[in-house]
Structure 1
Amino acid sequence: MSQAKERPILFSAPMVRAILEGRKTVTRRAVKIQPRTKGDIGSYGLGQPFIRHPDPTKRNPECPYGRPGDRLWVRETWLEDPEDDGTWAYTQYMGCKGSPLSEIPKRFQKPEHCIFRASWNGTDLLWRPSIHMPRWASRILLEITDVRVERLQDISVQQVREEGCEVREFWLFGADAEKRQHIAASMFGGLWKDINGQESWDANPWVWVVKFRRIQP
Structure 2
Amino acid sequence: MKERGIIFNAEMVRAVLEGRKTQTRRMLSPRQLKMIDAAASIGECYPLESGHQHENSQSYYRECCPFGAVGDRVWVRETWMPDAPRDGSWADVSFYGCKGSPLSMIPERYRKPEHCIHRASWEGSEMVGWTPSIHMPRWASRITLEIIGVRVERLWDITEEDAKAEGCTFEALRLKPGTREVEEMGHTAVSHFGGLWQSIYGDESWQANPWVWVIEFKRVEGDA
TM-score normalised to structure 2 length: 0.77
Structure 1 residues 182 and 92: alpha-carbon distance in aligned structure 2, compared to 1, 3 A threshold: closer
1:32 aligns with 2:44: no
C-alpha deviation, 1:39, in angstroms: 5.7
State which of 192, 195, 202 in structure 1 corresponds to 2:207.
202
Cα separation, 2, equivalents of 1:44 and 1:65: 20
C-alpha contact (below 8 Å) 2:95/2:105 kept by paired residues: no
C-alpha deviation, 1:77, in angstroms: 0.3
State which of 144, 150, 153 in structure 2 corresponds to 1:150.
153
- The DSSP-based 3-state class of the residue aligned with 1:145 is strand
C-alpha deviation, 1:154, in angstroms: 1.1
- The DSSP-based 3-state class of the residue aligned with 2:212 is strand
C-alpha contact (below 8 Å) 1:142/1:214 kept by paired residues: yes
1:123 aligns with 2:128: no
- Name the residue aligned to 2:196: 191
Greater helix proportion: 2
C-alpha deviation, 1:187, in angstroms: 1.7
C-alpha contact (below 8 Å) 1:26/1:211 kept by paired residues: yes
C-alpha deviation, 1:90, in angstroms: 2.2
1:14 aligns with 2:24: no
C-alpha deviation, 1:96, in angstroms: 3.6
C-alpha deviation, 1:129, in angstroms: 0.2
TM-score normalised to structure 1 length: 0.79
C-alpha deviation, 1:69, in angstroms: 0.2
C-alpha contact (below 8 Å) 2:84/2:93 kept by paired residues: no
1:80 aligns with 2:82: yes
* Structure 2 unpaired stretches of 5+: 34-46, 172-176, 178-185
Of the structure 1 ranges 155-164 and 75-84, higher mean CA displacement relative to structure 2 is found in 75-84
Cα RMSD over matched residues?
A: 2.6
C-alpha contact (below 8 Å) 1:42/1:50 kept by paired residues: no
**Per-residue CA distance 1:40-89 (angstroms, 9 max, x = gap):** 867568x74418xxxxxxxxx61111110000000000000132554654
State which of 208, 211, 214 in structure 1 corresponds to 2:216.
211
Structure 1 residues 103 and 44: alpha-carbon distance in aligned structure 2, compared to 1, 3 A threshold: farther
Structure 1 residues 85 and 211: alpha-carbon distance in aligned structure 2, compared to 1, 3 A threshold: same
* Structure 1 unpaired stretches of 5+: 52-60, 172-180
C-alpha contact (below 8 Å) 1:49/1:63 kept by paired residues: no
Q: How many residues are treated as equivalent by the alignment?
A: 193
